[in-house]
Chain A
Amino acid sequence: MRKADGICACVLFAFGVLVVSDGMRLGAFGWGMAGPEPGLYPFLLGMGVCLGSLLVLARVLVQSRRGLPNEPFISQGGLKPILWVAVPATLMVLLTEFIGLFLAAGLYLAVYTRLVGRSRWVTVLAVSILLPVVSYIIFYKWFQIPLPMGSLEAHWPF
């Protein structure tokens, strides 16, 4: 937990530095045509994040110096289920770029309900076909939201 806390603070610090540098680029201290220059606000915010993350980092270091009890960032056996959610979801989004959201979602639902949910094939098929079809009718046809269809857009029969 402490290690993750430290790493997170470092990342936030780097993020803050990035923001501060962009603020400096835009001019943070001058007086422009329309009041304070546009960089002032990001500059101040970036400084705030830097300062805060340094404080967090300092506390992490003090705690580990004193050898206070620590616990793992991800609890025992917790990583696997997380990856089982994160990786297929990311793959679904990636697939969406090519074959559209509805097909990708159908595949994703089928894979997940079968492999993780261990549902029966009937349930798997029902869920992975019905849900995308119903949401296609509701969102694409009814609410007319142009959800991504990927490269299938041109050949879509409906």
Chain B
Amino acid sequence: MEALHGLMLGFGVFLTPYNILIAVAGIFVGTVVGVLPGLGGANGVAILIPMTFSMPPTSAIILLACIYWGALFGGVITSILFNIPGEPWSVATTFDGYPMAKKGQAAQALTTAFCSHFVGAMFATVMLTFFAPLVAQFALKFGPPEMFAVMMLTFSAFVALGGKSPVKTVVSIFVGFILAAVGLDTVSGDLRLTFGTIQLLGGFNFIVAVIGLFGLGEIFLTVEEGLRMEGVSAKMSVRVILATMRQLPRFWKTYLRGALIGCWMGIKPGGATPASFMSYGFAKQFAKNPEDFGTGTLEGVVAPEVAAHAAGVSAMLPMITLGVPGSPTAAVMLGGLMIWGLQPGPMLFKDHPDFVWGLIASIWAANALGVLIVLCFVPFFAAILRAPFGILMPTIVFVCAIGAFAVNNRMIDIWYMIIFGIVGFVFKKLDYPIAPMVLALVLGDMAESAMRQSLIMSQGSPLIFFTWPIAGVVNGLAIVFFFWPILKAVRERLWVARGLPQKV
């Protein structure tokens, strides 16, 4: 009941002409950002954070959240029409989406994808609405050891779930933490890792890192592969849209399964991509005609989309309740919260209910609005990608440079952006995952102070992380996750040794 009350409050906050206008603008900009190569949710949000400094925090988060939803929609358009997955979790959508588009069923594929997006997002939003207050209530009891444990779990999840090489994931996380530690140590007042230079005094800003790593790095990758824009044109007609929508309820089982997988995986960081593949895999396994998958079936578009977008929304849950984001984009938004002067974490529900519920209400409204907007403007968004790359690319670099500068109004940040771009390219090529590094960069200060405060509480004994009940359980889980790749390898060895068929 408390949740419904909060939701009413949220809609009261959201339903002002200004906020609705901001939401529509956000979805529009976000979709453009999602369609453009080199720009995605994370750096689209990062570039626009400086523009929100003068807004009230609630409007600011609505804008950023809507850019995020818009970017998710944009990714769908590029994967189906151009076979270019804008984001890693759109990869599974290309399996059946692009073949459908080539068969001349682009409109059906897009309608299906957007509707699946809507269902997934709504499912996760319901979960968020009723679950988030409970989690926040529980998290209020958390002290520094528990917070530290939750962060350890977050990063261990990356090691267990993502990336081709667990060791490289760990290295990438540590590099992120190190970059976050550069500059003034707030506890002792010492300068750390500045090596006597003034430039390093201010440390590294994660927004600049995101713009460089995801923006420039992505552009380098795109041009290396040689961009092929073999787009299929889409003609959307109301008749086709309605006819497609009438077919969708048949797939209710796929919807339900995908939404559940998405919600569950999305809470863990980096979960959207495995969620979309898992959902696709399950749908194929349970389908009556699995051999149709990959040739362009509606169900093959439904499954990954539902899961990816349910995961995208449920990534907000740990962000607003614990202050630990579930995706790079959520991490950037979390950084925005800190800049606007809000302390992320369970206290948000108590101190700024209008902010939290305004955000949740905006998720409800924005996803409904978003489906309408993108359905109407698909040809327009697709046209952007047909603009010559020779014009798009320098424009994106220019916009990235403005965004990087505007964070702190420092020239050096534009240089950092270029350096991060090169680092991002090298890391991507060598399978060092970038998302956990960004998350570490955002959470670095929080993780460190949680660790140091815990050590002060225990007077130096690291046992505090295991003897406190909640912290102990969470840390135990974190350790299992951390060594999961090794455990898995050992188990597979044992299977082979016993001569049993290997499990996939």
Contacts and interface: CB of A to CB of B under 8 A. Distances in A.
Given A22-B195, A73-B429, A74-B429, 10 more contacts: A12-B175, A38-B187, A45-B174, A46-B178, A75-B224, A96-B414, A101-B401, A101-B402, A109-B394, A127-B391
Interface in B361-403: 388-391, 393-395, 397-399, 401-402
B430 A113 contact: no
A8 B430 CA distance: 9
A61 interface: no
A78 B192 contact: no
B501 interface: no
Contacts of A81: 223-224, 226
B401 A93 contact: yes
B216 interface: yes
A158 interface: no
A108 B415 contact: no
Interface string B390-433: 11011101110110011001010011001001100110011010
Nearest to A79: B224
A119 B393 CA distance: 13
Interface of A: 1, 4-5, 8, 12, 15, 19, 22, 26, 31-39, 41-42, 45-46, 48-49, 52-53, 55-56, 59, 73-75, 77-79, 81-82, 84-86, 88-90, 92-93, 96-97, 101, 105, 108-109, 112-113, 116-119, 123, 127, 131-132, 135, 139, 143, 145-148
Given A34-B188, A105-B401, A109-B398, A145 B406 contact: yes
A151 to B, nearest CB: 13
5 contacts: A4-B426, A39-B192, A46-B178, A84-B223, A113-B390
Contact of B426 (A8, A37, A78, A123): A8
B47 to A, nearest CB: 11
B389 A89 contact: no
A46 to B, nearest CB: 7
Interface stretch (B61-69, B305-313, B451-459): B451-459
A4 B390 contact: no
A119 B391 contact: yes
Given A55-B167, A90-B418, A143-B51, A117 B430 contact: no
Interface in B150-199: 165, 167-168, 170-171, 174-175, 177-178, 181, 185, 187-188, 190, 192-193, 195
A52 B432 CA distance: 12
B448 interface: yes
A35 B452 contact: yes
A45 B394 contact: no
Contacts of A143: 50-51, 54, 406
Contacts of B401: 92-93, 96, 101, 105
A135 B178 contact: no
A105 B397 CA distance: 9
B115 interface: no
Contacts of A117: 388-391
Contacts of A123: 391
A52 to B, nearest CB: 4
B187 A42 contact: no
A19 B193 contact: yes
B460 interface: yes
A48 B455 contact: no
A72 B421 CA distance: 20
Nearest to A37: B188
Contacts of B192: 22, 26, 38-39, 42
Contacts of A139: 402, 406
B399 to A, nearest CB: 8
A85 B393 contact: yes
A101 to B, nearest CB: 7
A118 B397 contact: no
B220 interface: yes
Looking at B51, B165, B223, which has the most chain A CB atoms within 10 Å of its CB?
B223
B390 A116 contact: yes
B225 interface: yes
B207 interface: no
Contact of A48 (B170, B388, B402, B453): B170
A41 B452 contact: yes
Contacts of B402: 101, 135, 139, 145, 147
A56 B167 contact: yes
Contacts of B193: 19, 22, 42
A82 B223 contact: yes
B244 to A, nearest CB: 37
B478 interface: no
Given A112-B390, A112-B394, A145-B406, A53 B216 contact: no
A104 to B, nearest CB: 9
A35 B455 contact: yes
A145 B398 contact: no
B219 interface: yes
Interface string B279-299: 000000000000000000000
Given A92-B401, A109-B395, A36 B452 contact: yes
A78 B224 contact: yes
A38 to B, nearest CB: 4
Nearest to B409: A146
A149 to B, nearest CB: 11
B456 A35 contact: yes
